[in-house]
Amino acid sequence: MEQRIGSSSQPVEGAGFDPAFIPGITAPVSAKRQDTEPEDAVETEETDSAEDMDAPAAQAEEATEGAEGEESEDEPDGPVFEAADRRARIVADRKGVRLRLDEESCEFRWDEIGAVETEAPRFGKRFTITVHTPDRRWYPIEIEATARARFKEWEEQLDAVLDAYFED
């Protein structure tokens, strides 16, 4: 049996504890972290982030082109589901399911997935896809569609991928 010594709670952040707190802005880097990073790495990260802010659309196009090139070279033809909006992206193919929201991403192989659930809202254009794992965790992602008619198309494409690669 494992036991932990000390507090397992994280420090609380927010306006109630920090009068300078502004939601959406990251906290300043701690002194401990600054000492461990080399100065060159910090400088390159700053220039990269400035370039990223200037061309987010170009990055999305490059990522799409790179993904298409990889699929055509080493993957056989098979069903692929791909949906994206300005913030979120989901790709389901023979490798598994990959989710991305802003700068965060995760990847699930087919043997790591317990279920994939879809939900089309009654009103609005945000299509929700939730990946459930066998250890009772779930990872939802919402994709904003250009039109509600895309929901049916996405459902059919995702069903084709699940039928081909997902084993019950």
Chain Cα centroid distance, residue 12 = 25
pLDDT, mean of residues 62-80: 57
Task: Specify the long-range contacts of residues 122-130, CB closer than 8 Å, at least 24 apart.
Answer: 127/83, 127/151, 127/154, 129/83, 129/90, 129/158
pLDDT on residue 4: 61
Tell me the whole-structure pTM to 2 decimals. Answer: 0.54
Residue recorded with tokens 């198309």 = 153
Please name which of 154, 160, 155 lies closest in space to residue 77, comparing C-alpha atoms. Answer: 160
In this model, does residue 6 exceed pLDDT 90? no
pLDDT, mean of residues 137-144: 93
pLDDT, mean of residues 144-153: 92
C-alpha triplet 71, 138, 77: angle, nearest 5°: 15
pLDDT on residue 57: 45
- Work out the pLDDT band at 56, boundaries 50, 70, 90: very low
**27: helix, coil or strand?**
coil
Exposure of 39 by Cβ count < 10 A (0-12 exposed, 13-18 middle, 19+ buried)? Answer: exposed
CA distances from 97 to 45, 57, 64, 89, 94 (A): 28, 23, 16, 11, 9
pLDDT on residue 60: 47
pLDDT on residue 58: 47
pLDDT, mean of residues 109-114: 92
The number of beta carbons lying within 10 Å of the beta carbon of residue 9 is 6
pLDDT, mean of residues 104-123: 92
Least confident of 19-33, 58-72, 74-88: 58-72
